[in-house]
Amino acid sequence: MNATAPPAGNLYLVVGYDGSPPAVRALDGAVGLLHGRTGSIEVLYVAHLPSMDMLSAAAVAEMEVNFDDIARELHDQASEQLRDREERWGFERRQGLIAEELIAAATGIRDAHPGDTVVIVVGSSSHAMHRMVGSVAVSLARRSPVPLVVVP
């Protein structure tokens, strides 16, 4: 049997994570992809505010506090999920449109580590509505400048 060696260089995986079952599967998939390779996993939670035009300053401030709480909970959840499986990971919270922020994180890592491989990893959506209007995975498949893995 011919076993091929993994490509040289580091592998950086940017995982979209919101604690949902698809996100949990994506993080599990990233652990498998990184196994036996050098590199790391960047777990990324993107807080998405609805149209700011319709919100008062007080409402926006309240949502920011809620997003901070959610980010702490998601960090703890990811930490528990990765315990005893993978130590090379970080967590980041961003705000904006999910696909755009995942792309921005991935391209930032790619630009900081030329010659290494950067991949975005997301879970596939199980929502019927996403089949009609599109999902984050579909948006990424259309626009990502780095490889994309969609975990079923």
The tens digit of pLDDT for each residue in 15-66 reads 999 999 999 999 999 999 999 999 999 999 998 766 555 566 666 566 666 8
pLDDT at 133 over 90: no
Residue 5 confidence (pLDDT): 58
Domain assignment present for residue 121? The answer is yes
Q: How far apart are CA 114 and CA 70, in angstroms?
A: 33
Domain assignment present for residue 70? The answer is yes
Domain assignment present for residue 1? The answer is no
Residue 74 confidence (pLDDT): 96
Its domain, for residue 102, covers 11-151
- Helical segments of the chain, H only: 21-34, 57-82, 98-112, 128-133, 136-143
Domain assignment present for residue 146? The answer is yes
Per-residue pLDDT tens digits for 87-126: 999 999 998 899 999 999 999 999 999 999 999 999 987 6
Amino acid identity of residue 96, one-letter, is G
At 120, which CATH number? Answer: 3.40.50.620
Domain assignment present for residue 2? The answer is no
Domain assignment present for residue 126? The answer is yes
Domain assignment present for residue 52? The answer is yes
23, 77 contact by CB (below 8 A): no
Q: How many CA atoms lie within 13 A of 140 on its CB side?
A: 28
Residues 6+ apart with CB under 8 A from 56: none
Domain assignment present for residue 4? The answer is no
Count of structural domains, the chain: 1
